[in-house]
Amino acid sequence: MPGKSIARRTLLRGMGTAIALPLLDSMIPAFTRAANTKAPCRMAMLYVPNGIVMDQWIPNLPEGSMALPAELPRVTSALMPFRSEITMLGGLTQNGGRALGDGPGDHGRAGANYLTCVHPKKTNGRDLQTGISVDQIAAKRLEGKTKFASLELGCEEGVQGGSCDNGYSCAYSNSISWRTPSSPMPAEIRPRAVFERLFGAADEDPRARRYEKSILDLVSSDAQRLNAQVGAADKRKLDEYLFSIRDLEKRIASAERSNAKAVKPSMGIPGSSIPTEFGEHARIMCDLLTLAFQTDSTRVATVLLALEQSPRAYPEIGIPEAHHGLTHHQGDKEKIEKVTQINCFHAKQLAYLLEKLRSTPDGDGTLLDHSMITYGSGLSDGNAHDHANLPMVLAGRGSGGVKPGRYVRYPRETPMANLYVAMLDRMGVPVESLGDSNGEVGYLSDL
Amino acid sequence: MICAQTPPPEFRATIQPFLAKNCLGCHNDKLQTAGLSLEQYRDNAALWAKVADKIGSGRMPPAGLPQPSKADVTAVLSVLEKSSGEGDRVTAHRLNRVEYNNTVRDLLSVSLHPADEFPLDDAGYGFDNIGDVLSVSPLLMEKYVAAARTVSRAAVYGEPVPDKPTKLTRFLGKKSQDDPTANALPFSYRGALWATFDFPADGEYEFHMRDANYRPRTKSTPRQAELSRKRGLTEAEKAELKELNRLSDAPVRMVMTLDGKQILTEVVEGNIDFAYAHGETVARARVTAGEHSFRASYPEYADTANPLDNVNTDGRRKIFIDYIDIWGPFDKGTEAPASRQRIFTCTQKTADCASKIIGGLARRAYRRPVTAQEQNELVQLAAMVRKNGDSFDESIRVALQAILMSPNFLFRAELAGQYDLASRLSYFLWSSMPDAELMRAAEAGTLRIPTVFDAQVRRMMADPKADALVENFVGQWLGLRQMDKRKPDPAHFPTVDDELLDSMRQETTLFARAVMREDRSVLDFLDGRFTFVNGPLARFYGIPGVNGEAFQRVELDGTQRGGIMTQGSVLTLSSYATRTSPVIRGKWVLENLLGTPPPPPPPDVPALEEKNIGTTVSLRERLEQHRANAACAVCHNQMDPIGFGLENYDASGAWRDSEGKFAIDSSGKLPGGKDFRGPQELKEVLRNQSDQFTRNLVEKMLTYALGRGLEPYDRPAVDAILQHLRADGYKFSTMAMEIANSKPFQMRKGEGELSAR
């Protein structure tokens, strides 16, 4: 039986690679605010897997807050143009990622715990259990203010297979965003699909959606009837369904209320295919993220640049070996060099995003002024599966909540969750605690 | 820290002495083998359930170590299984992507594949149809809405078709094995191009294609060279040059087939200069709406010994299909699309007819009778559309969209007795909804009668739709989906292209299909003495006497190949891109065939020193360190020997007698087993562990059939299935039948039979 089948509709729209047009002055985002209203704060978490070569990330500096070193090592050197807009953080730990008696599985844990800060339950399938991720906590509280409560973007397709890492289901590393402890929010990796979520499909018949509210009502009552008849375990699944319906209904209602004109996006429609070259894929996701923030389609996002334990190779920079395999270098200098190159390649994409955000005007400043963008990994030393002293950079000024341009090293074992608590505070959705937090990190806004 | 808790008395009396004698040697606080210590009692039901399972299935203690007596095992199990707690039922089970596509196809005769755009299904226990792991997210919900909209429109109005015949698509192949172009079709050294396409309507379609001809000028005669360089040729000279170019290379026949039937053939002549002027070739064929497969290739190339004969020194192929454009439809059929015939069971545009249509659709889509309330709500929705001034057809379309978005369609929640059993059976064997005949049996209430049930199972397994069982169960069991991510590196294996890898995949699929449809023994998976190959694959394997592009069945007596362990698909996916790994292959066999996955490696194992393998040291010698260290040997003695037994097959699945300058040493010894040398003897050793193999396979198929992981309380059912299997020659078809008849499949835990409402 011969191979590929390609949706005809996709092909009708033409095959081509993504075209990103520069921002044109005449393209006005639909939701611009008046100049004197305070621009809302946005939050995005970018993730890279398998740890980072730490001595190429930041020099070993003492605890405390200090100006960023005059020169940054290889991996972070790409961020030099943004020195005054970034805060590098050291000493943060994810204790929940450690074994704590559950044996091997550091990658499964690292991915599942990165934004949830809990120790995920070791299971191959049944009863997944991690926590609610920081982005979803914010999303839930900010619901209704924007078209999308949150956006999950990614550049690597999920793994299908029972166990990804020693008894931890692949579901744990396929997503970093969790709406409930057992409901992952999968990332969309198709640029065209993200674009269409934000702006609608090009050839769509507007009439086609006329009855959708009534249809949603009908299926909603179907679900409630069903829910009343099923057992506890089934209820959990139907709850997910009901939540998703309600989420859709709210979005339709808020779109109607705001009577926004059709938004003219300031980029070309992405091609229908998924770019095979990582840099291209990452950049178009960064373009879409910038656009989503600019049009206030959402204020919360996550970008899974690669999945935890990713085996991706990077032939585009001359590395045909799998990323994860290389990070278990055991001191081999050649392998460490290759990992460093991959780390640099990833960091370049962050630099691209920061440039886009910095050059996009937003209210009385730029998008970067009004954002908090984190970039890091669930492991520091990928070879030793170390969950302490994690690499983390916080970019942006958080609408005044962050005073960047510094390096802060927190005391040993400071939970990463403390950073997330601080971020939620600055997003205007404070929480008492999150995961294993025991306070809020300081030094972000003080000098 | 593990707190010491007080064990209950029967635990102290029966379990602790057993553990001390049989388990604590490895699973103590100091060694913590596989991360487990049983030294201290812990009140953890899940833990003891797992322990019971390992002991009960004979997996622990591992082979090669002293085994406890049957009496001891029975005594221990009777205590442990009392405390393992009540099991769960299957959760409300949403359709996965494959099931969604198949169900839409069978419900409406619409062959769009909307679920291809859905986020990937999370998998559990090795399969993507595990209810507990399949979740619904807002992103997926949006996709459901869009899909329901698209499918309902296509079903009621037909797929959108341009008014005039237009170019619908262009198919381009990869230009080299490592060409990264997105959406390009798989690469073939032999220049072939093949794909499937969803034709929007009945009608005639044109296939415009170009044979690219880059056969070099190097063989020019002096006269040819002279004329090529000359300017201002006369007409006669032009004709002469053209003829010389035409004759400079042998003609090659190109054949294009649609659904396997030839629709075009032409001859490619001459060299690059001759062919340049030739332009496109066009084939025209009448096609019904829906998905069809086509292929354009050069059949005689299937029999060339070296596919690189078709490649120039600059890496570009000499002859290949450059592109295929599909134009149409011409002379569009006037009949309504098949989907309309399925939907519009009456033609009057009345409220009664609407009610009848909607009721019929909902019943089939929900896979059970519809309640009055459900029907009412849908009918009212349709009525509202009519009142709004929209057409009758649109009112039906809106109702259909609602049906496709309803949880009654998207989920299988088991509340409806015989209908549930019918659904379970059809999603097990067909990955799709029940057909009319199966529904009739459920409706008549006769499905539970053993003769009726068994007859249905047999009928369904004989149906072509049962190919889904091979595609989805066997495919996932063997990990065939990994093949795309584990391609042999072109630099190391320059004759392996996507087409060959695709052939390997087809080989395994055809093999598994034969085991299923011919009522063969599942032990054939271990060492069946036959397989299916086409010319290129046969040549790659070194099997004589097979020519041409078509697959043929071959007997393998007298060769080392036989069974899936020596099929290219498994051999490539259990290797690195650049070299074999006996450890990965050993692990693959233990995990997938024997069900005894090795525990994970300890955290700080140094990586393998790869530099001089093949030149100063063999791979086998390098891996000796696994055996030298006792702590490593415990696990590696199980894995490495299996891999060594298969070392004659390189990372692309081809046979080799040496690796660099070292002859392959394929001898090994499994713990508790005999010595063996070579793949054939390895297979015999594994055959002697056929109980483990069959148990594992039954467990896997039962997991797939139930859509949940197995619990210790399922073991009696597994034992019973195995007994029947043994008694009936280990037939694959018997296994499926027994699973369908098993208690866990037929009943819901804790509630007795799935009773009718």
3-class secondary structure per residue, B52-84: HHHHHCCCCCCCCCCCCCHHHHHHHHHHHHHCC
What CATH number corresponds to the domain at position A170? 3.40.720
Flag whether pLDDT at A40 surpasses 50: yes
Q: Which residues of chain A from 102 to 161 reach within 8 Å of chain B, CB to CB?
A: 102-105, 124-128, 149, 152, 157-158, 160-161
The Cα-based distances of A447 to A371, A392, A426, B301, B620 in angstroms read: 19, 19, 17, 74, 60
Q: Has residue A438 been placed in a domain?
A: no
Closest CA–CA distance from residue A169 to any residue of chain B (Å): 7
Average pLDDT over residues A346-370: 95
Q: What is the mean pLDDT of residues A403-425?
A: 95
What was the pLDDT predicted at B111? 85
On the CB side of B63, CA atoms within 13 Å amount to 18
Alpha helices (H) in B177-234, listed in sequence order: 222-229
The DSSP element (H or E) to which B727 belongs, if any, is helix B715-727
Dump pLDDT digits (tens) for B329-351.
998 888 888 899 999 999 999 99
Q: Are B120 and A160 in contact (CB < 8 Å)? A: yes
Model's pTM, two decimal places?
A: 0.85
Q: How would residue A118 be classed by pLDDT, with cut points 50, 70 and 90?
A: very high
In percent, how much of chain B has pLDDT > 70? Answer: 94
pLDDT at A1: 35
DSSP B337-352: PHHHHHH-S--S-SHH
Contact A237 B131 (CB under 8 A): yes
B48 touches chain A (CB under 8 A): no
Cα(B676)–Cα(B691) distance, integer angstroms: 19
d(CA B196, CA A49): 36
- The backbone torsions φ and ψ at residue A262, rounded to the nearest 5 degrees and listed phi first, read -60, 125
Query: Which chain A residues are closer than 8 Å to B502 by Cβ?
Result: 3
The verdict on residue A115 lying in a domain is: yes
Say what the pLDDT of residue B233 is.
Answer: 86
Judge whether A243 is closer than 8 Å to chain B, CB to CB: yes
The pLDDT, as a whole number, for residue B510 is: 97
Number of domains in chain A: 1
> What is the pLDDT, as a whole number, of residue A28?
33
Note whether residue A46 is domain-resident: yes
pLDDT band at A152 (very low <50, low <70, confident <90, very high): very high
**Residues of chain A contacting B119 with CB distance shorter than 8 Å:** 158, 186-188
More confident residue, A27 or B358: B358
Read off the pLDDT of each residue in A187-199 and give the average, rounded to a whole number: 90
Assess whether pLDDT exceeds 50 at residue A15: no
Q: Please, are residues A18 and A286 in contact by the beta-carbon 8 Å criterion? A: no
Confidence of residue A85 (pLDDT cuts 50, 70, 90): very high
Indicate the pLDDT class of residue B366, thresholds 50, 70 and 90: very high
Question: Which residues span the domain enclosing A182?
Answer: 39-189+274-426
Handedness of CA B642, B643, B647, B648 (dihedral sign): positive
How many angstroms separate the Cα of B605 from the Cα of each of B497, B597, B684? 35, 19, 33
Q: How far is CA B753 from CA A227, B373, B429, B749, B750, in A?
A: 21, 27, 21, 9, 9
Residue B279 confidence class, pLDDT cut points 50, 70, 90: confident
Mean pLDDT of the region B467-489:
92
What average pLDDT score do residues A250-266 get?
65
Q: Is the pLDDT of residue B506 over 70?
A: yes
pLDDT at B389: 92
Selected for mutation to probe chain A from B3, B44, B105, B133 (highest A CB count within 10 Å) is B133
**B163 vs B384 pLDDT, higher one:** B384
Interface of A with B in 258-297 (CB under 8 A): 271-277
Which own/partner pairs from B519-522 qualify as long-range (CB within 8 Å, at least 24 positions apart)? B519/B731, B519/B732, B519/B733, B519/B734, B520/B731, B520/B732, B521/B729, B521/B730, B521/B731, B521/B732, B522/B693, B522/B694, B522/B697, B522/B725, B522/B730, B522/B731, B522/B732, B522/B735
Q: CA–CA distance from B167 to each of A22, A368, B70, B197, B615 (Å)?
A: 32, 45, 71, 13, 55
Decide if A220 is inside a domain. Answer: no
The whole-number average pLDDT for the span B241-260 is 90
Q: Determine the pLDDT at residue B748.
A: 65
Q: Which of residues 375-414 of B touch A (CB under 8 A)?
A: 377-378, 381, 384-385, 388, 398, 401-402, 405-408, 410-411, 413
Would you say residue B387 has pLDDT above 80? Answer: yes
pLDDT at residue B624 tops 90: no
- DSSP letters, B450-517, are HHHHHHHHHHHHHSGGGHHIIIIIIHHHTTGGGGGGSPPPTTT-TT--HHHHHHHHHHHHHHHHHHHH
Q: Using pLDDT thresholds of 50, 70 and 90, give the confidence band for residue B182.
A: confident
Residue B498 scores a pLDDT above 80? yes
* ipTM of predicted complex: 0.83
B313 pLDDT more than 60 = yes
CB nearest to B125's CB, from A15, A124, A215:
A124
Is residue A213 situated within a structural domain? Answer: no
Per-residue pLDDT, averaged over A190-194, amounts to 91
What is the Cα A21 distance to its own chain's centre? 24
Q: Is residue A259 part of a domain?
A: no
Asked if pLDDT for residue B750 goes beyond 50, the answer is: no
**All residues at 6 or more sequence positions from B727 whose CB lies less than 8 Å from its CB, including other chains:** none
pLDDT digits (tens, 9 = 90+) for B410-424: 999 877 689 999 999
Instruction: Match 């949880």 to its residue by tokens.
Output: B407
CA B350 → CA B108, B393, B394, B402, distances in Å? 22, 11, 13, 20
Nearest to B56 by CA among B87, B81, B26, B85: B81
The pLDDT value given to residue A169: 86
Q: Check pLDDT > 50 for residue B357.
A: yes
Of B197, B388, B408, which has the smallest distance from its Cβ to A5's Cβ?
Answer: B197
The Cα A370–Cα A40 span in angstroms is: 7
pLDDT tens for each residue of B668-715: 888 776 789 999 999 998 888 889 999 999 999 999 999 998 988 898
Give A269-323 pLDDT, tens digit per residue: 888 788 888 999 999 999 999 999 998 899 999 999 999 988 888 988 988 888 9
Identify the band that residue B609 occupies on the pLDDT scale cut at 50, 70 and 90. low
Q: Does B183 touch chain A (CB under 8 A)?
A: yes
B147 neighbourhood in chain A, CB within 8 Å:
none
Amino acid B289 reads: A
Q: Distance between CA B536 and CA B308 in Å, rounded?
A: 12
Find residues 188-227 of chain A whose CB sits inside 8 Å of chain B: 188, 190, 193, 197, 208-212, 214-216, 218-219, 221-223, 225-226
Nearest to A244 among B141, B195, B377 (CB): B141
Closest Cα to residue A160, out of A172, A150, A168, A170?
A170
What pLDDT score was predicted for residue B101? 97
More confident residue, A41 or B87: A41
Q: Nearest Cβ partner of B132 from A103, A126, A384? A: A126
Rounded Cα gap, residues B520 and A346, in angstroms: 52
A234 near B CB under 8 A: yes
Q: B329 preceded by cis ω (within 30°)?
A: yes
Q: Strands B93-94, B411-412: parallel, antiparallel or unpaired by DSSP?
A: antiparallel
Do residues A40 and A297 lie in contact, with contact meaning Cβ atoms separated by under 8 Å?
no
Nearest to A18 by CA among A156, A160, A193, A179: A193
Q: What mean pLDDT, rounded, does chain A reach? A: 85
Instruction: Please give the Cα distance from B230 to B222 (Å, whole number).
Output: 12
Cβ of A404: how many Cβ atoms within 10 Å? 22
Backbone angles phi, psi at B197, to 5 degrees: -140, 140
Tokens of B59: 């997996």
Q: Which of A1, A5, A247 faces B113 most closely, judged by CB atoms?
A: A5
User: Does residue A150 lie in a domain region?
Assistant: yes
HSE on the CB side for B303, CA within 13 Å? Answer: 9
Instruction: Compare CB distances from A162 to B125, B407, B482 and report the shortest one's residue.
Output: B125
**Inside any domain, residue A171:** yes
Q: How far is the C-alpha of A291 from the C-alpha of A199, rounded, in Å?
A: 10
C-alpha to C-alpha distance for B7 and B40, rounded to whole angstroms: 9
Place of tokens 């309504």: B336
Provide the mean pLDDT of chain B. Answer: 88
B384 chain-A contacts, CB cut-off 8 A: 211, 214
